[in-house]
A and B are shown apart, each in its own frame.
Chain A
Amino acid sequence: MAKLPKPEELGKIDYTPPSTGWMDTPVEFKPGYFCNAAKEKNLAGLHMPNARTWSVKDEDWKLPDNWKEIIMEGLRERLEKYRSLRIFMDICVRCGACADKCHFFIGTGDPKNMPVLRAELLRSVYRKEYTTAGKILGKFAGAREMTIDVLKEWWYYFFQCTECRRCSVFCPYGIDQAEITIVGRELLNLLGLNIDWIMGPANACYHKGNHLGIEPHTFKSSIEFFLDDIKTITGIDIEPSFNRKGAEILFVTPSGDVFADPGTYTAMGYLMLFHELGLDYTWSTYASEGGNFGFFTNNELAKKLNAKIYAEAKRLGVKWILGGECGHMWRVLSQYMDTWNGPADFLEVPKSPITGTVFENARSMKMVHITEFTADLMKHNKLKLDPSRNDDVRLTWHDSCNTARGMGLLEEPRYIAKQVCNNFFEMPENTIREKTFCCGSGSGLNASENMDMRLKGGLPRANAVKYVHEKHGVNTVGNVCAIDRATLTTAIDYWSPGVRVSGLHELVANALVMKGEKTRRTNLRFEPLPGVEQVDDDQPEEE
């Protein structure tokens, strides 16, 4: 509820109210707040409607003449299809519990980034079209006409929401703002109104199998490149397999792990762990992307991009699928894959070949998250670990929105982190677990042109990191999300310099004592291990 002003505040009332209310004030496109428009080739490559060259800054967005009809029909269709959407449109009492929970509101101070108001952008149009009060009373009932200004406002603000769902944790009705943004973006996509940072990777994924558009031979050679580094650090030769039929397990991870630092160190961690276990697994150059930018476009495209994972598992004849460290990838897999592209009845219920543990939680979906797999290994003492190799790491844990709020993966990563790292410090309670703050760059908003916006959105997260950095000397933020690894590195560099970002299996591999390894002198980043003196490369190695 709105707060009553205090007497002294009343005495200072400015008698010049804004000339128009929020409904009638057209959005101002501020540089640094928005991403570039989707390119024609990427829209056309995915057979999306209204493929053309357009620019956000242009007055004319080159929309079809009947754009309004398309939007209203799209809304009607979705209200019929998703009962949840209709409830979310009707049920909000505007209590304001969500208002100050959004990282973008906290960072920007823009009231239209309050989740309640962001939803109201869509809800006001719904009221005008679907409620009696809205039809008759218009603005008095919070209803308004769909106009080109409203459309642009939708575009501006639905691409300023990372679908992190923190607001929904505080909503007494459980309204899921992420679903409202998802539907808002779906409607915009009916007119070819996406951002290129989403459409480009989605198009590349559709044609080449991964977001970067890397072809099979390059994907394979990228992973082989890591093997040289692993050999230098551990003295061990690893020979992973690709597209191998008859392997027990198919391993799928976000392509960011293979190409972008510091995710690459996490990928090296997977390779080392699987080698040490003697796991019968294979990589796939076809299902070479666990992430799914189609999810930030529409349901159909998300389903289409996801289909390759079960298809590849079937083609290779594996028993089950193991997934790498990821955020939105895991939400898509655990909550949608089974209903989109299942049933995967050609697979078996995942069972760890090392411990015999049957992953009952994955009975239907047939895919296990790597932190579930590794935590189980550690629980059964199957790994020889030397956590002192990470003694220079003072670790805190960032719960990635999708894995934490989306599916409750809270304990497994912490259990692993504490096994491999002696110095672990939690951030304050209202910034972790279900209440974790977003990195500010999720849901396809990790572009370069909106860097200002990303830093504002990353402020609440980085602010808590800064606190533990100053209080406990924390120097590393661990996480299980490829987008976090790429973007939190940047946000934390700005807000709390001196703290870096690390994937969990990078830390696992540093602590992992492998059979036949030489004395390790460096970690996976080729930095000296604590307490180990550096020697020249030409001196004989101690075996």
Chain B
Amino acid sequence: MKLDQILEKNKAVILQGWVEIILKAYPDETSRFIKSRKDRFDNPVGHAISTGVEGIFNCLVEGGNERIASFIDDIIRIRAVQDFRPGQAVGFMFQLKSVIRDVVADDLARQDAGLVRELLEFESRIDEQAKLAFDIYMKCRERLYELKTDEFKRNTFRLLQQANLICEVEGQDASAN
């Protein structure tokens, strides 16, 4: 059987396994909540993870790279502020590899050279998207620091303006972020 057929057939198992690994980073009470509460507004983290991993998986299998960034973004944006170290925050992308290896283990044992090649290619695709995940993570962290300075500017701009300590250059907004 070809890799994409195996992945398609075992999609539910793979996604469940991937989510389980992601949720291991949270305390038991929390991961139980994230898994069980289905409403996307009561449980935004769970919703982002479940729809995100499915979206990423589909894009990887079907090769639709346009939308993959938004699925990765939904997950990374949360992890970027949830006190994960950078490696942990993006590490969930690599964890998909071990989930898939478990699924194809029996087929690999039959020393199917074609399957091995397909698997290595698929894993390279994951690596590529993991780099994208890291870019998104960095953008989120940078944004966080920009937001701090933006907020500071909004809080002080009027006073500086009044004190004639700031002036607007024609065509530019001095308060612009």
CA distance A108 to B45 in the complex (A): 9
**CB < 8 Å neighbour of B82 from A100, A109, A225, A460:** A109
CA distance A30 to B85 in the complex (A): 12
Contacts of B151 in A (CB 8 A): 448, 486-487, 489-490
From residue B37, how far is it (CB to closest CB) to chain A in Å? Answer: 6
Query: Is there an interface contact between B147 and A493, defined as CB atoms closer than 8 Å?
Result: yes
Query: Is there an interface contact between A459 and B78, defined as CB atoms closer than 8 Å?
Result: yes
Chain A 101-112 against B: per-residue CB contact (8 Å), 1 yes, 0 no? Answer: 000011111110
Query: Is there an interface contact between B44 and A459, defined as CB atoms closer than 8 Å?
Result: yes
Contacts of A40 in B (CB 8 A): none
Query: Is there an interface contact between B33 and A100, defined as CB atoms closer than 8 Å?
Result: yes
CA distance A489 to B81 in the complex (A): 17
Whether a CB of chain B sits under 8 angstroms from the CB of A264 is yes
Whether a CB of chain B sits under 8 angstroms from the CB of A534 is no
Whether a CB of chain A sits under 8 angstroms from the CB of B98 is no
Query: Is there an interface contact between A225 and B158, defined as CB atoms closer than 8 Å?
Result: yes
Chain A 195-219 against B: per-residue CB contact (8 Å), 1 yes, 0 no? Answer: 0000000000000000000100010
**CB < 8 Å neighbour of A451 from B42, B78, B148, B158:** B148
Which residues of B, 16-55, contact A by the 8 Å Cβ criterion? 26-27, 29-30, 32-34, 36-37, 39-45
Query: Is there an interface contact between A259 and B83, defined as CB atoms closer than 8 Å?
Result: no
Contacts of A230 in B (CB 8 A): none
- Assess A486 versus B83: contact at CB under 8 Å? Given A106-B45, A218-B162: no
Query: Is there an interface contact between B154 and A486, defined as CB atoms closer than 8 Å?
Result: yes
**CB < 8 Å neighbour of B27 from A111, A214, A459, A486:** A111
CA distance A110 to B82 in the complex (A): 10
Contacts of A262 in B (CB 8 A): 154
Which residues of A, 24-39, contact B by the 8 Å Cβ criterion? 30, 32-33
29 A-B contacts, Cβ less than 8 Å apart?
A: A3-B36, A33-B83, A99-B33, A100-B42, A106-B45, A109-B26, A109-B45, A110-B30, A259-B158, A260-B154, A260-B155, A428-B41, A430-B39, A448-B151, A448-B152, A451-B147, A455-B81, A456-B81, A459-B44, A459-B45, A460-B44, A463-B40, A464-B41, A486-B154, A486-B155, A489-B151, A490-B147, A494-B77, A494-B147
Q: What is the interface of chain B, defined by CB distance below 8 A to chain A?
A: 26-27, 29-30, 32-34, 36-37, 39-45, 77-78, 81-83, 140, 143-144, 147-148, 150-152, 154-155, 157-159, 161-162, 175
